[in-house]
Amino acid sequence: MNFDRQDLTNEQLLDLYKKLLKPRLIEEKMLILLRQGKVSKWFSGIGQEAISVGITSVLDKDEYILPMHRNLGVFTTREIPLHRLFSQWQGKKTGFTKGRDRSFHFGTQEFKLVGMISHLGPQLGVADGIALANKLKKNGKVTAVFTGEGATSEGDFHEALNIAAVWDLPVLFVIENNGYGLSTPTNEQYRCENLADKGVGFGMESHIVDGNNILEVVNLISKLKASMVENPRPVLLEFKTFRMRGHEEASGTKYVPQELMDMWAEKDPIENFKEFLLRTNVLNEETDTQYRAEIKAEIDEHWVITQGEPDVIADLTEELNDMYEPYDFEEFTHSKEVENIRVVDAISNALRQSMERHDNLVIMGQDIAEYGGAFKITDGFVDAFGKERVRNTPICESAVVSAANGLSINGHKAIMEMQFGDFVSTGFNPIVNLLAKQHYRWNEKADVVVRMPCGGGTQAGPFHSQTNEAWFTKTPGLKVVYPAFPYDVKGLLNTAINDPNPVMFFEHKQLYRSVYQDVPVDYYTIPFGKASLIKEGNDVTVISFGAGVHWALDTLNKNPEISADLIDLRTLQPLDVETIYASVKKTNKVIILTEDTLFGGVASDISAMIMENCFEHLDAPVKRVGSLETAIPFVKALEDQYLPKNRFENELKDLLAY
């Protein structure tokens, strides 16, 4: 192995050697503890240390790195106290996730590290968002994100690289090609000769690097980092390397030919670098022995600290409270000046005033810039706020959601517009696994609003008409807002943008230009979790949200003899159960109208809660009215049959007659 020290001093070479030794010696300790039953699981990076150590040694300590589960060298080179790492692995309270996640599935703002989730690919998009925030700040910082050759087959990989290329984001995309995705060899994963070749397709600079040569890693990254500060751009790096242990210890390495193991054993990144240092008189055996003894002593000392910590004691209040970033609602009141506007105008008004109020707010989506969006909601925003903050995106919902999360991690607020709420299915994973779980996992907010144009009634068919709020009300960590009137739309959207938690903001397309209301000209906010009582009566409680509120209102106006409480929920998570229960206890009959299909929907949960908490006040079973248990069709006759609008009146009268 040829080592080119270039202008590195002896002290720098020895420092790199010690940084290489540390993760290796920790791993050797962990493997012993694993056999003793004192560690439950281990993902080994033995043989790959030069990549983690080399990259982390070059990057500044305030530059974000997004590692994987074989990148122990990233964490040790960032000088995280070992007892905190050990406590993380052992599920202790002083780890980074309070026992809620394991291994390297965590992040830490203190050390500017953002750990992976098991779905692997989304972290590449997160790196895009972090790099975009750096670019907006004009701070000259570079971001590095790791992945394995296996995850390069995921759609998120291609989406993230494409975004980075289009936006000229300063990201080092690091592929650790160790030959196997668990047990699947590379010849069963991809057909190109080298993964670096994929860079050509994205118009991206790429390099193939000997991942076992620490100096080749350091020299290249040093050169690239200096260049990327002057010329911000993404770079794809394929590091050829090998893992000498199994995917995780339980899987073993029997699927690897012995001659391959022998070949890579001869390329060990630590032993070869040690031999180079000895040969050039930079290191001697006595110093090497000293280094190893010091590191082993540190490992043992910190392991004792971790073992002395008590096991986690379950605290119900803490668990529930940590699901969301604490947020004290700030009420902004308004003057009496109003304008009669539509829902679509209220959304645009809120976005514009929020962009003026938050100079760190970025809006992203397909066609939202000069074109103004599919519904012209952001028309004129580029002229007002510039293309840096109003960003057209490629068609890649998953990576854009992840990038929004990266923006949040690096000090920005983000709004991502799904062109149609139906398209959220291609961005589902980062919403429910990154945004929703992030604060619970490692105490980091996800300051992201996902706008969801949704709903039927416009004959748009199965892929532009769904109302899929139940996908997200089921997921703890998300807030779900679904207003029906322009006044509520504006106030609640402003609150959603202020709230540091991820918010799914549903906007019913049929209401966009059909519903008018006097709305304050000023900026104002409305708290989440407070339903609106549209009508008051004594005979029945009608509960709905979105377009269903207008259907119910039309029915009640058509039948003035029906005395009803009409509750517009406005927010589904959090849900205003107090208003629901108070009304039920007064009227003693309940009907819930939802545009969604019934099975597994929001109406079912509200019905169950009423049955559990207000059963003795009911004079009839809770009635649910929803759409047919089919996909939503295109032709008007079929869509009218599908939607519950025309069935609601008969169902309501049947309930009153019970």
Beta 571-573 vs 479-481: how paired, if at all?
Answer: antiparallel
User: Which residue of the set 105, 464, 508, 550 is catalytic?
Assistant: 464
Counted residue by residue, the chain has a size of: 658
Identify any residues that bridge with 452 across adjacent strands, giving them in sequence order. 506
Q: How far is residue 342's CA from residue 339's CA, in Å, rounded to a whole number?
A: 10
Q: How many CB atoms lie within 10 A of CB 265?
A: 12
- Give ∠ CA 499-501-507 in degrees, rounded to 5: 75
83 classed as catalytic: no
Q: Which of 551, 353, 437 lies closest to 107 in space, CA to CA? A: 437
Q: Is residue 201 classed as helix, strand or coil in its secondary structure? A: helix
The structure tokens listed for 202 are 């994205």
Q: How far is CA 390 from CA 8, 311, 363, 517, in A?
A: 44, 48, 5, 28
Is residue 343 a contact partner of residue 454, using CB atoms and an 8 Å limit?
Answer: no
159 half-sphere exposure, CB direction, 13 A CA radius:
26
- Rounded to 10 deg, the angle between the 269-279 and 10-35 helix axes is 140
- Rounded to 10 deg, the angle between the 269-279 and 285-307 helix axes is 140
Residue 8 is classified by DSSP as -
- Give ∠ CA 78-80-85 in degrees, rounded to 5: 130
Is residue 361 a contact partner of residue 497, using CB atoms and an 8 Å limit?
Answer: yes
Q: How far is residue 215's CA from residue 54's CA, in Å, rounded to a whole number?
A: 8
Q: Please say whether the dihedral angle defined by the alpha carbons of residues 316, 320, 325 and 330, taken in this order, is positive or negative.
A: negative
Is residue 50 a contact partner of residue 211, using CB atoms and an 8 Å limit?
Answer: yes
Give the catalytic positions in this structure. 464
